[in-house]
């Protein structure tokens, strides 16, 4: 699936030079763009900094809120993905 491809290619690794576990920006960007047009289409959020988040939020997650928060953080706290989207 496109989401599984995104998880594999955009795995964050803060200690790497690029911020990506696989050290490959192109694969992450391609996987990220593959989510566009699906139910997982990411949103750009404007806050003190530009970030990315899934369209959904975790307000109605009930007992699965912790899992939902972890899923959302893969987008919002992902150093690999932020390196792709933020201009230098």
List the chain pLDDT tens, one digit each, 88 residues: 888 998 898 888 878 877 788 887 788 888 888 888 887 777 665 555 556 677 677 888 888 999 988 888 888 788 887 655 544 4
pLDDT of residue 86: 46
pLDDT of residue 61: 86
Name the one residue in this structure whose structure tokens are 């900094």.
Answer: 49
Cβ atoms 42, 52 nearer than 8 A: yes
C-alpha triplet 74, 14, 81: angle, nearest 5°:
45
3-state secondary structure of 87: coil
pLDDT of residue 62: 86
Name the one residue in this structure whose structure tokens are 């893969």.
Answer: 74
3-state secondary structure of 59: coil
pLDDT of residue 74: 83
Strands 50-54 and 42-46 come out as: antiparallel
Q: Which of 48, 54, 60 is nearest to 76 (CA)?
A: 54
């Amino acid at each position: 699936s496109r989401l599984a491809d995104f998880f594999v290619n955009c795995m964050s690794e803060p200690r790497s030079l690029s911020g990506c576990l696989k050290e490959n920006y192109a694969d992450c960007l391609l996987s990220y763009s593959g989510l566009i047009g699906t139910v997982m289409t990411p949103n750009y959020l404007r806050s003190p900094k530009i970030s990315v988040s899934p369209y959904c939020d975790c307000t109605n997650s009930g007992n699965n809120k912790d899992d939902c928060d972890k899923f959302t953080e893969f987008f919002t706290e992902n150093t690999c993905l932020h390196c792709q989207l933020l201009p230098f």
